[in-house]
Amino acid sequence: MVPVLGAIIGWELLLLSPFIVGVVIVVVLTRRSGRSGRTGTPPAAGWHPDPTRRHQLRYWDGASWSDQVADQGQQATDPIDLAQG
């Protein structure tokens, strides 16, 4: 009786394999892209890569990008205009 049960479980796993592989792929790709499943959640206040790409970092105050920027550890100000960046 046990070998039959083992064969049934084996076939079920074989049938579920594509689903399991698909779930693993989605989880890996989601983690690599930095997405946590939450959409529209702004980043925490702090220094982040400059969305205009004019500087290394720009300060996000929790609601909007500030004019505070940093390059190689030196802070400066640069008004943000995302349309031009």
Residue 3 within any structural domain of the chain: yes
pTM equals: 0.50
Written as six digits, the tokens of 43 are 């980043």
Residue 28 has pLDDT above 70, yes or no: no
What pLDDT, on the 0 to 100 scale, is given for residue 65?
93
Residue 11 within any structural domain of the chain: yes
Residue 10 has pLDDT above 60, yes or no: yes
Residue 25 within any structural domain of the chain: yes
What pLDDT, on the 0 to 100 scale, is given for residue 4?
57
Do residues 55 and 22 touch, judged by C-beta distance below 8 A?
no
Residue 16 within any structural domain of the chain: yes
Long-range contacts of 76-81 (CB under 8 A, 24+ apart): 78/54, 80/51, 80/52, 81/52
Q: Is residue 51 domain-shared with residue 35, that is, in the same domain?
A: no
What range does the domain containing 20 cover? 1-39
